[in-house]
Amino acid sequence: MIFIRGAAVLTMESPGVLYENGEILIEGQYITHVGPAGSASPPNDIDRIIDARGMLALPGLVNCHTHGAMTLLRSYADDLPLQRWLEEKIWPVEERLDPEDIYWGTMLCCLEMIRSGTTSFADMYFHMDQAARAVEKAGLRASLSRGMIGLSTGAGDALEESRHFIGEWHGAADGRITTMLGPHAPYTCPPDFLRKVMDMAAEVQVGIHIHLAETGKEVEDIRRQYGKRPVALMDELGLFAFPVLAAHCVHLDEEEINILAEKKVGVAHNPESNMKLASGIAPVTRLLEAGVLVGLGTDGPASNNNLDMMEEMRSAALLQKVATMDPVALPAFTALSMATVNGARVLGLHDVGLLKPGYKADIILINLHRPHLYPRHDLVAHLVYAAQSADVETVIVDGRVVMEKRQVLTVDEEEVYRQVSRRAERLAGRK
Ligand SMILES: CSC[C@H]1O[C@@H](n2cnc3c(O)ncnc32)[C@H](O)[C@@H]1O
Ligand SMILES: [Zn+2]
């Protein structure tokens, strides 16, 4: 049992709920009490009291779309459009990744996430049993998908590997790990392959994580090939009968926005990757108006080039303002909701993302005693427009402290740096 006291507590239930001097009780994996100081008499059998005076407590951040082990390829290929980036640089080097690379690359991803306040993430990549091992050890929460390129000769094997991976890991690590099927995108997964994916989703009862409508080129190529735009094509195939996590959704017409709302598709908006690859600006304001559930993601660390959700919130808010020429667009509380409770819902985690009794104890403490966080007119605005990931002081996932006073407790940082440096040298052909 952990008792946090003295923090300002932002529950994220509604914009107004902020306890200036609050307290949180954690029993096992769950939050059992949240309120102003003195609202609960702390039980006798508390294991730890965390004195959080000068801190802001809020739900851990949720990264709805990444490729964690691509930390190994950070700054390996930059300043290219998506298709050239993938075909000329990324896919050739990914051929050389081995399972241990994925373990250490994902471990680096977990380390970066813990240090920047992310407690849950959705990952699509290869050798996912190794990614799962890293997540389990680091203590994070994740929804993991074995990425599948339907056009490749190994597509059938990838599907079988997915079935095995889901059987082994869905619900593992005390429920911190969940799984999805990961067909890469409409332009790499033709309809026949997607039908097999849907058959398997029905059989093993998991959702589907896919890149969708990321670039103008994708829309044109899919329309030329199938006579429909990507979202409309996925709808016609029946993909949205399953829980779908659709990454990007940059290029949409009104009909497609309505499909996404009606079929309750969860969208992962990745503003920095979309800017860096010049893919475009997702119509987030329109999506939200239409009632689409939108979370935030970084995309892989090779197209961002970091996993910093604090930055991503700020970028999302600023980008919508400039895209709509409306300073009211995507206000701070909306950006923070996308990065917490709404992101959790996009991942199908319905007891994650709020500080509320009955919710999983995924909590971060932000050190407010920093020059860029004074004075304190509005703490929500501070989080989105002023805070930095280095302000994250303590991170709790599933009721367990994984970082305290910026010391990560679950991962040997130096060993991770040694491993990834050596492996990245080999992958880049320098050793
Ligand atoms: C099949 S595993 C995932 C696959 O996706 C590639 N990837 C990384 N970022 C993006 C992106 O923004 N759009 C499309 N594909 C992306 C990654 O390199 C893997 O090959
Ligand atoms: Zn991606």
The pLDDT tens digits for 276-334 are: 999 999 999 999 999 999 999 999 999 999 999 999 999 999 999 999 999 999 999 99
So what's the ipTM on this one? 0.99
Residue 415 Cα, ligand 1 centroid: separation in angstroms?
27
Burial of 15 (0-12, 13-18, 19+ CB in 10 A): middle
Q: Does the beta carbon of 273 sit less than 6 angstroms from any atom of ligand 1?
A: yes
58 has pLDDT over 90:
yes
Residue 30 Cα, ligand 1 centroid: separation in angstroms?
34
pLDDT value at residue 44:
85
Element (H or E) spanning 113, and its range? helix 99-115
Q: Does the beta carbon of 184 sit less than 6 angstroms from any atom of ligand 1?
A: yes
139-168 pLDDT per residue, tens = 999 999 999 999 999 999 999 999 999 999
**Residue from 63, 67, 146, 181 to probe ligand 1 pocket by mutation (most atoms less than 8 Å from CB):** 67
Confidence of residue 252 (pLDDT cuts 50, 70, 90): very high
Known binding site for Zn(2+): residues? 65, 67, 211, 299
The contacts of residue 225 (CB under 8 Å, 6+ apart) are: none
Q: Cβ(320)–Cβ(373) under 8 Å?
A: no
Residue 164 Cα, ligand 1 centroid: separation in angstroms?
22
Q: Which of 39-53, 118-132, 351-365 has the lowest mean pLDDT?
A: 39-53
pLDDT value at residue 181:
98
175-207 pLDDT per residue, tens = 999 999 999 999 999 999 999 999 999 999 999
Residue whose CA is at the smallest distance from ligand 1 atom 14: 211
pLDDT value at residue 302:
97
Query: Could you say which ligand is closest to the alpha carbon of residue 245?
Result: 2
Residue 268 Cα, ligand 1 centroid: separation in angstroms?
14
Report the distance separating Cα 427 and Cα 90, nearest Å.
11
pLDDT value at residue 130:
98
Confidence of residue 126 (pLDDT cuts 50, 70, 90): very high
Mean pLDDT of the chain: 97
pLDDT value at residue 247:
99
Q: Does the beta carbon of 93 sit less than 6 angstroms from any atom of ligand 1?
A: no
Per-residue pLDDT, averaged over 210-238, amounts to 98
Q: How far is CA 268 from the centre of its chain?
A: 8
Known binding site: residues? 65, 67, 94, 146, 184, 211, 214, 299
Domains of the chain plus CATH, in order, are 2-59+353-408 (2.30.40.10), 61-346 (3.20.20.140)
pLDDT value at residue 41:
82
Ligand 1 nearest atom to the CA of residue 149, by list position: 1
Q: Does the beta carbon of 147 sit less than 6 angstroms from any atom of ligand 1?
A: yes
Per-residue pLDDT, averaged over 392-401, amounts to 98
Cis amide bond preceding 305, omega within 30: yes
431 has pLDDT over 80:
no
Residue 46, phi-psi category: left (phi > 0), alpha (psi -120 to 50), beta (remainder): beta
Whether the pTM exceeds 0.80: the reply is yes
Confidence of residue 43 (pLDDT cuts 50, 70, 90): confident
Confidence of residue 16 (pLDDT cuts 50, 70, 90): confident
